[in-house]
């Protein structure tokens, strides 16, 4: 390409210079010839004046002083050459020469005598023809000199223009080379140096351009990925610059503060965060570099919020003017668990405290000899034992619950749950008989993939309650289907307002009655945990003084093949 430019430029310069030279040459030749012809006519006039019949040599010499190339010929009227300054001899008759035939007219023709082109003109006096001639070469002398200098200047101009064009192109391409080098620096793309070839540079720029476009596309994809991740994490993120403008906000934060991205992005954070207490903390973090970590409750959800100053080149001006990062995490469940644990420990301590107080009281009275009568001593020992058993039962249930909470991965076996119901009834035979309860069973196979202890725990707790809270002479109906177990009693029932809470730990409708019957308040909590382990659902229906029905429906994942059990 560079060579093309040089050759084109030089061709234009060549043609222009050549055109000027040729035009000048034509003009110079024309005027040169015209001047020569005028000179020739003047020489002829002079000769006519000077020549008077016999002084031909004299005239010839005089003419020679004016122009060395001048040729004088004297011809008589018969055409014979009487004198010729060329000193040639043996001339033929000159009457037929055109300049003799048409006197006073200049002719250009080849001279056989001098073997060169000449211009001739002739005139006649009384007895002679006088002819003057000049060689064409003498006329062309100036023209030839002009051509010589023309060629020389043409060559010099060409050489100079070549050098100038080359220099100009180099100078013109220099910034382009710098641009290419910079672009290569940006794209980290190393290509071979293109030299001064504009085509190669252009191809390089094309390559770099493609590379930049690819990189832009890649950056766009990366940005999309990052935005996708940011918008789909279960955590809110807001980044503010040192002027308190929102430079980044993800979907979680947008949803929490109920704003749309365009409403807040690149705007002061107060357009998005309207809560005054949070606003104050953000301001303080930006101005005083304070870090805040706190819980915030909004519409029944608890959020853990963390506001911290952020020194980063794209958000802060300098170390003393930081931006801020605001993180939000939903902790409702975690806080509820924490609360439940706190309540559990308080309840557990309380539950254990009362039997322990009774035991200590009796033991002290026995130790101090306050109870002396054998009946009193026996009574004290029996009460102490009962409270100790209660404590034992509470501790056992607590251990069971904590074990279930750990979601134990125990090996399940395929059990026909209906068979275990008979065993459970055997276990509670004494209590059933004591209360004269009527037991009715409608048992069909219930094949479950379950851990035996869990199934036993489930039936024992439910049957225990159906007996404990039943009326004297009441009844209990136990039913199994291929996917469910139902226990129905005719007991005291559970008031409507307590029905949703009886599965909570240590929750009792009538604390006194429960304690009297040896309840720990953990039985239904254990049932609920076992059910959640096997994704079983619990349905409770109860009517005060009428009775209670609890139905447990197992999920398909826990139900096994009935035929495999029957075989
Ligand atoms: P407890 O050990 O006190 O029986 P549970 O967790 O088994 O604890 O039951 C919680 C409370 O629910 C009981 O204290 C009782 O008030 C009530 N309850 C449970 N089952 C029945 C039932 N079948 N009939 C009436 N009340 C019941």
Domains of the chain: 2-143 (3.30.450.20), 233-330 (3.30.450.20), 336-401 (1.10.287.130), 411-564 (3.30.565.10)
Which of 158-162, 249-253, 444-448, 477-481 comes out lowest in average pLDDT? 158-162
DSSP letters of 152-202? HHHHHHHHHHHHHHHHHHHHHHHHHHHHHHHHHHHHT------TT-HHHHH
What band does 567 get if pLDDT is binned at 50, 70 and 90?
Answer: very low
Enter the DSSP assignment of 257. Answer: T
Q: How far is the CA of 513 from the centre of ligand 1 (A)?
A: 10
Residue given tokens 């979907």 in the structure block: 251
Q: Is the CB of 457 under 6 A from ligand 1?
A: no
Cβ atoms of 387 and 381 closer than 8 Å: no
Q: Is the CB of 509 under 6 A from ligand 1?
A: yes
Cβ atoms of 303 and 295 closer than 8 Å: yes
- Dump pLDDT digits (tens) for 128-139: 899 999 888 877
Percent of the chain residues topping a pLDDT of 90: 56
Measured distance between the N- and C-terminal CA atoms of the chain, rounded to whole angstroms: 93
For ligand 1, atom 4: residue with the closest CA: 519
Q: How far is the CA of 479 from the centre of ligand 1 (A)?
A: 20
Distance CA 449, CA 484 (A): 13
For ligand 1, atom 25: residue with the closest CA: 493
What pLDDT is recorded for position 139? 76
What band does 196 get if pLDDT is binned at 50, 70 and 90?
Answer: low
3-state helix, strand, coil in the chain (%, to 5): 55, 20, 25
* Cα radius of gyration (the chain): 64
For ligand 1, atom 16: residue with the closest CA: 509
What band does 33 get if pLDDT is binned at 50, 70 and 90?
Answer: confident
pTM over 0.95: no
Distance CA 96, CA 98 (A): 6
- Dump pLDDT digits (tens) for 467-508: 999 999 999 999 999 999 999 999 999 999 999 999 999 999
Cβ of 301: how many Cβ atoms within 10 Å? 13
What pLDDT is recorded for position 57? 86
Cβ of 8: how many Cβ atoms within 10 Å? 11
Distance CA 207, CA 203 (A): 6
Dihedral pair phi/psi, residue 160, rounded to 5°? -65, -40
Q: Is the CB of 467 under 6 A from ligand 1?
A: no
Residue given tokens 């029932």 in the structure block: 493
Distance CA 35, CA 142 (A): 11
Mutate to test the pocket of ligand 1, among 466, 469, 512, 542 (most ligand atoms within 8 A of CB): 469
What pLDDT is recorded for position 194? 56
3-state secondary structure of 285: helix
Q: Quick one: how far is CA 155 from the chain centroid?
A: 60
pLDDT above 90 for 302: yes
The residue with greater pLDDT, 345 or 1, is 345
- Dump pLDDT digits (tens) for 370-387: 988 999 999 999 999 999
Distance CA 204, CA 229 (A): 37
Dihedral pair phi/psi, residue 469, rounded to 5°? -100, 20
pLDDT above 60 for 182: yes
CA distances from 288 to 40, 242, 272, 320 (A): 111, 12, 22, 9
Q: Is the CB of 466 under 6 A from ligand 1?
A: yes
Q: Is the CB of 547 under 6 A from ligand 1?
A: no
Count the alpha carbons within 13 Å of 418 in the hemisphere toward its beta carbon: 16
Cβ of 320: how many Cβ atoms within 10 Å? 9
Cβ atoms of 237 and 252 closer than 8 Å: yes
pLDDT above 60 for 566: no
């Amino acid at each position: 390409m560079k060579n093309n430019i040089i050759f084109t430029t030089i061709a234009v310069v060549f043609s222009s210079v050549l055109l000027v030279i040729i035009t000048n040459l034509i003009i110079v030749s024309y005027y040169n010839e015209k001047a020569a012809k005028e000179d020739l006519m003047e020489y002829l006039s002079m000769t006519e004046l000077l020549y008077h019949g016999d002084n031909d040599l004299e005239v010839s010499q005089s003419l020679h002083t004016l122009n060395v190339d001048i040729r004088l010929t004297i011809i008589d009227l018969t055409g014979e050459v009487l004198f010729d300054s060329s000193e040639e001899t043996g001339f033929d008759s000159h009457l037929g020469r055109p300049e003799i035939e048409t006197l006073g007219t200049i002719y250009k023709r080849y001279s056989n005598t001098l073997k060169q082109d000449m211009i001739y003109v002739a005139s006649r006096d009384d007895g002679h023809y006088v002819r003057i001639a000049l060689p064409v070469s003498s006329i062309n002398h100036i023209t030839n000199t002009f051509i010589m200098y023309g060629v020389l200047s043409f060559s010099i101009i060409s050489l100079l223009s070549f050098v100038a064009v080359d220099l100009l192109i180099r100078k013109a391409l220099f910034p382009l080379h710098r641009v290419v080098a910079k672009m290569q620096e940006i794209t980290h793309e190393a290509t071979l140096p293109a030299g001064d070839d504009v085509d190669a540079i252009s191809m390089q720029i094309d390559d770099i351009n493609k590379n930049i476009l690819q990189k832009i596309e890649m950056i766009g994809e990366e940005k999309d990925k990052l935005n996708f991740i940011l918008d789909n994490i279960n955590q809110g993120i807001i980044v503010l610059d040192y002027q308190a403008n929102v430079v980044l906000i993800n979907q979680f934060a947008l949803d929490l503060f109920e704003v749309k991205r365009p409403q807040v992005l690149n705007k002061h954070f107060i357009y998005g965060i309207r809560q005054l207490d949070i606003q104050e903390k953000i301001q303080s973090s930006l101005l005083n570099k304070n870090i805040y970590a706190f819980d915030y409750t909004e519409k029944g959800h608890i959020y853990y919020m963390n506001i911290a100053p952020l020194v980063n080149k794209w958000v802060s001006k300098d170390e003393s003017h930081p931006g801020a990062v605001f993180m939000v995490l939903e902790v409702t469940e975690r806080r509820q668990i924490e609360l439940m644990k706190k309540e559990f420990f308080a309840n557990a301590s309380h539950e254990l405290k009362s039997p322990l107080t009774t035991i200590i009281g009796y033991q002290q009275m026995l130790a101090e000899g306050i109870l002396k009568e054998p009946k009193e001593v026996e009574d004290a020992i029996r009460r102490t034992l009962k409270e100790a058993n209660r404590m034992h039962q509470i501790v056992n249930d607590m251990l069971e619950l904590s074990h279930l909470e750990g979601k134990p991965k125990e090996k399940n076996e395929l059990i026909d749950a209906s068979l275990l119901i008979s065993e459970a009834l055997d276990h509670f035979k004494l209590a059933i008989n004591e209360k004269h309860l009527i037991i009715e069973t409608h048992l069909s196979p219930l094949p479950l993939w379950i851990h035996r202890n869990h199934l036993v725990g489930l039936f024992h707790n439910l049957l225990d309650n159906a007996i404990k809270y039943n009326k004297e002479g009441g009844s209990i109906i136990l039913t199994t289907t291929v996917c469910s177990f139902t226990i129905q009693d005719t007991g005291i029932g559970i008031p409507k307002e307590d029905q949703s809470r009886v599965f909570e730990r240590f929750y009792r409708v009538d604390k006194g009655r429960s304690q009297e019957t040896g309840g720990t308040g953990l039985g239904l909590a254990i049932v609920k945990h076992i059910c959640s382990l096997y994704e079983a659902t619990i349905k409770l229906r109860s009517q005060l003084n009428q009775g209670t029905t609890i139905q447990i429906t197992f999920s398909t994942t826990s139900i096994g093949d009935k035929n495999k059990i029957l075989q």
